[in-house]
Amino acid sequence: MSDVFAFGIGISQTDSQGNPLDCYFPTPCLNPSGEVAAAVASLPNGTSTAAPEEISYLIADHDLAPAVLLEADQPLQIVKLVEDVAIDSTPEAYLKLHLLSHRMTLPNTLNLDGIFPHLPNLAWTTQGAISTEELDQEILSARLKGEHLEIMSVDKFPKMVNYVMPSGVRIADASRIRLGAYLGDGTTVMHEGFVNFNAGALGPNMVEGRISQGVTIDAGTDLGGSASTMGTLSGGGEITITLGKNCLVGANAGTGIPLGDRCTIEAGLYITAGTVVTVVDETGTEVRKAKARELAGNSDMLFIRNSQNGQVLCRTNRRAIELNDALHAHN
């Protein structure tokens, strides 16, 4: 059993006071064992820094970071976590976000308590992360050089692809995938698709809607244009929303309850935990009325509306959604 939960050697961008703004870990390590665990055992727990030559043995002998980092002209950032506990520093936050986007761990499996206070609100620019307090000066400095500093966003989270590029995925608009998102092999995220941190598509999936924080969708499940999943930060409370295999949430539809496998929600219909649903059998005969939360997690459900009275119906969906193989092909 390893005595180290996670480890990373990276490069931090800092403000004028030397405070880390972000951190890039090219090859994060989860649950190191054997010689690797022994090699990092003497390093301090938590967050620390070291000159490249001081930790050259970790890079040259154990491949814990690309060899090119030995040429860095700045101290390297080190994070060694003995346990998966609440986040205590900016580098620790970035290491855990890297673990998620590197597919080393699934959403909702890491302790992310404390992440927001340790992620500064930054301007993400063509020159990297800049403290919002120092942004005016940086804009002025660029202008004096005849340059234009482009600001893409002001946010706590950067876009994932500037740090991690998972294999086998297509992303139409990289700004809509935050670092800490999990994108499985075979996933396509279209222009209006969005995947938050600690959320993911296990692949293959077609994502044209929003996967909110804490939400995961399993293989073969698709979100139509502007479809929505309710995360814990957007009204879902303590309920963890998961969608099973081969589900379809239609365009402009959404769910605030977990779904099992082979479920469909028709376009434009948003199911929340309190939605009153009329359950019908395969002949269309009413069986009972229920709150949607009572149906949470069940498979083979088809949610539709009665076009005449607006009543929300749930009937058994016996046929799994047949995905278009060409749609999910990444060759």
Of 199, 8, 7, nearest to 112 by C-alpha is: 199
329 Cα distance to chain centroid: 22
Beta bridge partners of 11: 24
Provide φ and ψ at 168, rounded to 5°.
Answer: 75, 25
Residues 6+ apart with CB under 8 A from 235: 256
Q: How are beta strands 312-316 and 276-280 bridged, if at all?
A: parallel
Give the integer Cα–Cα distance in Å for 158 and 140: 23
3 state SS for 169-235:
CEECCHHHEECCEEECCCEEECCCCEECCCEEECCCEEECCEECCCCEECCCCEECCCCEECCCCCC
DSSP 320: P
Active site residue 208: yes
Of 236, 266, 239, 238, nearest to 253 by C-alpha is: 266
> What one-letter code names the amino acid at 107?
P
Catalytic residue among 54, 192, 208, 294: 208
Which residues participate in catalysis according to the annotation?
208
